[in-house]
Amino acid sequence: MTIEVEPLTPTIGAIVNGLNVKRLSDSGFADLWQAFVDHSVVFLRDQGKLTPEQHLSFAKRFGEIHVHPAARGREVASDGVMNMRITRDTEVAAGNRWHSDVSCDAQPPQATILQLHTIPTLGGDTLFSSLYAAYETLSERMKVYLDGLTALHSGEESFRHLFKFSDSAGEGWPENHHPLVRKHVDSGRPVLFVDREFTRQIDNLPREEGRALLEFLFNHTERVAFQCRFRWTPNAIAIWDNRCALHHAMWDYWPSERLGRRITVKGESPVVWQLTKDHAPTPERPTVRLTK
Ligand code: SIN
């Protein structure tokens, strides 16, 4: 079976046609993986509702299953299957802010695989933003300034204060330091690895300078020039690469419901990008240019 990859923008996102994830051959998976690495997020429509077992076995093609810190130590969801359930009674909708899933973990997830079964008539899109484009469009002076810096990513504010998850594993919420610029191990390209949800401070800079820089970097990663937006249809699947893309689940459909299931796949400890040693492969597609 040949797949058809239909890019949504030159920068990020592609619809993949011609695949059924319930019957995926090794060559079909190899094509899907290549599209995932090339486009940072891929979308497959009309996949039929997956059972949790089918969803898990598909996710395992990408790697070992990641368990969310809020599910650690619990029986429910400790297999890595998370129900996504937004209803009229929801107070804090998951994902309604730009983020990379659980970037506070020591080894933040590589892929997230989300299927939505029930969607609002209108609204509830998910937006994605390219962290490759965010890095590429920084000035050369800024790239030099960021070279070798690390930042603290913390789950404390989000998981304890915002979502009010209980720490059932009794281990506290993850806090880890990651390079500000990481090397994507599959594409070999540099990534500006910050997100508003979890990145708390830049290490070894004066406090105010670090805060101002971080705010600039958050705003920069959220620029419309780096984005695509997916309009869901029932039983579509989105697979995004948390190592090089942010996402934002738009909660603009209250009081309607939006229901589905999500599984994340383990990633590696972020690898630092070394400006003077690493060389990014020449891009084969149009790149974003910002107005001077
Ligand atoms: C998430 O942040 O994982 C949720 C994304 C979505 O619901 O669209």
CB contact at 8 A, 248 and 97: yes
- Cα 41 to middle of ligand 1, angstroms: 13
Q: For position 280, what pLDDT does the model report?
A: 85
Q: For position 165, what pLDDT does the model report?
A: 77
CB contact at 8 A, 137 and 224: no
Residues written for the chain: 292
Mutate to test the pocket of ligand 1, among 43, 104, 112, 231 (most ligand atoms within 8 A of CB): 112
DSSP annotation of 239: E
Ranges of residues in the chain whose predicted pLDDT is under 70: 1, 73-77
Sort 238 into a burial class: Cβ within 10 Å, 0-12 / 13-18 / 19+: buried
Q: For position 137, what pLDDT does the model report?
A: 97
Q: Does the annotation count 247 as an active-site position? A: yes
Q: Which helix (H) or strand (E) holds 113?
A: strand 111-118
pTM beyond 0.85, yes or no: yes
Q: Whose CA is nearest to atom 6 of ligand 1?
A: 249
| Ligand 1 lined by 249 (C-beta under 6 Å) | yes
How far is residue 16's CA from residue 2's CA, in Å, rounded to a whole number? 10
**Phi first, then psi: what are they for 105, rounded to 5°?**
-70, 155
Sort 187 into a burial class: Cβ within 10 Å, 0-12 / 13-18 / 19+: middle
Q: Whose CA is nearest to atom 2 of ligand 1?
A: 95
- Cα 98 to middle of ligand 1, angstroms: 10
Tens of pLDDT along 117-140? 999 999 999 999 999 999 999 999
Which residue of the set 99, 184, 220, 258 is catalytic?
99
Q: Does the annotation count 262 as an active-site position? A: yes
- Cα 279 to middle of ligand 1, angstroms: 33
Sort 192 into a burial class: Cβ within 10 Å, 0-12 / 13-18 / 19+: buried
| Ligand 1 lined by 180 (C-beta under 6 Å) | no
Least Cα distance to 191 among 233, 229, 220, 164 occurs for 220
CB contact at 8 A, 126 and 260: no
How far is residue 69's CA from residue 12's CA, in Å, rounded to a whole number? 28
Neighbours of 193 (CB within 10 A): 31
Q: Which helix (H) or strand (E) holds 218?
A: helix 207-221
247-278: b (≥16 Cβ within 10 Å) or e: bbbebebeebebebbbbbbbbeebebbeeeee
Q: For position 73, what pLDDT does the model report?
A: 67
How far is residue 130's CA from residue 241's CA, in Å, rounded to a whole number? 10
Tens of pLDDT along 156-213? 888 877 777 777 777 788 999 999 999 999 999 999 999 999 999 999 999 999 999 9
DSSP annotation of 224: G
How far is residue 170's CA from residue 91's CA, in Å, rounded to a whole number? 25
CB contact at 8 A, 220 and 195: no
DSSP annotation of 161: I
Q: Does the annotation count 55 as an active-site position? A: no
CATH no. for 4-278: 3.60.130.10
